[in-house]
Amino acid sequence: MGNVILEMKNIIKEFPNVRALDNVNLQVEEGEIHALVGENGAGKSTLMNVLGGVYPYGTYEGDIVYNGEVCQFHKIKDSEEKGIVIIHQELALVPLMSIGENMFLGNEKGKKNAIDWNETYKDADKYLKMVGLTESSHVLIKDIGTGKQQLVEIAKALAKHAKLLILDEPTSSLNETDSRALLDLMLVFKKQGLTMIIITHKLNEVVYVADKITVIRDGTTVESFVNDGNVDEARIIKGMVGREITDRFPKRHDVAIGEVNLEVKDWSVDHPIYEGRKVVDNVNFNVKKGEVVGIYGLMGAGRTELSMSIFGQSYGANIKGKLLVKGKEVTLKSPKEAINAGIAYVTESRKVNGLVLTNSIKVNTTLAHMDAVSDKSIIDADKEYAVAVEYKEKLRTKTPTVEQNVGNLSGGNQQKVLLAKWMFANPDILILDEPTRGIDVGAKYEIYCIINDLVKEGKSVVMISSELPEVIGMSDRIYVMNEGKFITEMPASEATQENIMAAIIQSGKGE
């Protein structure tokens, strides 16, 4: 290290009514892993999109100097030809195409209109081997897990001869085991001379892999410093939010845990396509009024399948078991019936299943309870606007107006709109599936405060999370799930990361 490979000087990027980047500076040395951190909406992804040609030259002010040359990228291909490749948070893979086809999509092997498939798959296998994937490049993307799909994206970048690899939230959808494996792979690539920029909200990952850290706050560069081995998460958080956060999980006060609100008995669910394959196997659990119940499991454990099947059988086949709401057995055959029974499901995928990104905050906020803002099927625009403003203020959503499209918000603020949508439906039971995925530590704290407020009102919360510290820090009780089954239950006061992981490992041995 030592030679500067990238300088971004005085970058200014404006959108209507918003200056997203305000004289941002970034300097990256060759062969280092450089972490770019900041709260949602700070400008991290915007800066990388300027670098990658997503926002072409002429739409921003400032200079990009790469390998000593001032560059003007008019499109993505311009930056990729220089060896700058971005792997975005939302994976850009086509599920029904093979790994090999995906890896060279838009960069096909062959001449003129003829693709050389032998060369395509031969090269694909070579790059897959470099990232440690043993799958054949003929396998379809839909047939491999999320962790392996992330490795395919990296192999795809290497196939473009990447010299500067940018990874935007590469582990946001991965469990802890796959996340650590990916970080270790980055360290291997660093030894081989590859330069990387990583954007992540998981600060333990920053401390683990980064050589240098740059903090961006409110569209400006706050500081850059070397990770000398003595940098802790609190130091990074202070730079991100401008203050110290001494407690990552807010205390819950004056909450009386009452009667059982939701009880699930002998619940089993089959895969909707593969007949006879159980994804949820004889699960039993309950959640009481005023209680947060955590469900933890590794990727593929069946947590999302369980929650979606409870929410009006919106997932699965051959669903069996009993569902009791406030002691009364119910049969819920649609999401609408689940909502009417007082159950809300906050999906793990806010962009795909949770929000209509091309619609306004106002419209999204009232989607799950439109009867309350309409008269004889005609929406009262004034009432809808007033509701949206009320929840914007209650949840402190950062936006100039509720007429703003949700797709223009940062991840943390999108998550607040998703919560507002279900809070307005006034459910008694909220199932929160990965409620803080891909959002920063400050926004997470605000979401945690919202959860505490909900249970203080007497709501019941089921919180599914891939982050063990979050499950332990926010739950009253924890159920641990593995391979479709609940393998143990414990009070959060007795739970540790070690004994939860030990329970999962032990259950795997017993199979």
Rounded average pLDDT per 10-residue block, the chain, 511 residues: 87 84 94 89 88 94 95 94 88 90 88 87 92 90 84 90 91 78 91 93 89 91 89 82 71 87 95 86 95 87 92 93 95 94 90 88 93 88 94 87 89 87 92 84 84 93 89 94 91 87 71 41
Contact 5, 29 (CB under 8 A): yes
**Sequence letter at residue 22:** D
Q: Which pLDDT value is given to residue 82?
A: 94
d(CA 395, CA 138): 47
Q: Which pLDDT value is given to residue 231?
A: 85
d(CA 162, CA 120): 18
Q: What is the CA radius of gyration of the chain?
A: 24
Give 455-474 pLDDT, tens digit per residue.
999 999 999 988 888 899 99
| Average pLDDT over all residues of the chain | 89
List CB contacts of 64: < 8 A, sequence separation 6 or more: 6, 7, 8, 9, 11, 50, 51, 70, 71, 72, 73
3-state secondary structure 161-216: CCCEEEEECCCCCCCHHHHHHHHHHHHHHHHCCCEEEEECCCHHHHHHHCCEEEEE
Q: Which pLDDT value is given to residue 243?
A: 63
Q: Which pLDDT value is given to residue 501?
A: 81
Q: Which pLDDT value is given to residue 511?
A: 41
d(CA 187, CA 213): 16
Q: Which pLDDT value is given to residue 305?
A: 92
Contact 336, 327 (CB under 8 A): no
Phi/psi of residue 431, nearest 5 degrees: -100, 115
Instruction: Count CB-CB contacts under 10 A for residue 472.
Output: 21
Nearest to 5 by CA among 186, 218, 212, 173: 212
Counting Cα atoms < 13 Å in the Cβ hemisphere of 48 gives 26
Q: Which pLDDT value is given to residue 244?
A: 61
3 state SS of 371? helix
3 state SS of 500? helix
Q: Which pLDDT value is given to residue 218?
A: 81
Contact 250, 452 (CB under 8 A): yes
Phi/psi of residue 176, nearest 5 degrees: -65, -35
Q: Which pLDDT value is given to residue 508?
A: 62
> Distance of CA 71 to CAs 45, 106, 129, 197, Å?
19, 23, 33, 18
Give 342-364 pLDDT, tens digit per residue.
999 998 888 878 899 999 999 99
The DSSP annotation for 107-135 comes to S--EETTEE-HHHHHHHHHHHHHHTT--S
d(CA 311, CA 374): 25
Nearest to 120 by CA among 101, 134, 97, 136: 101
Q: Which pLDDT value is given to residue 150?
A: 86
Taking the chain, what is the end-to-end CA distance rounded to the nearest angstrom? 48
3 state SS of 319? strand
List CB contacts of 381: < 8 A, sequence separation 6 or more: none
Give 18-74 pLDDT, tens digit per residue.
788 999 999 999 999 999 998 777 888 899 999 999 999 999 999 999 999 999 999
List CB contacts of 290: < 8 A, sequence separation 6 or more: 255, 256, 257, 258, 455, 456, 458, 459, 460
d(CA 422, CA 335): 12
d(CA 150, CA 297): 20
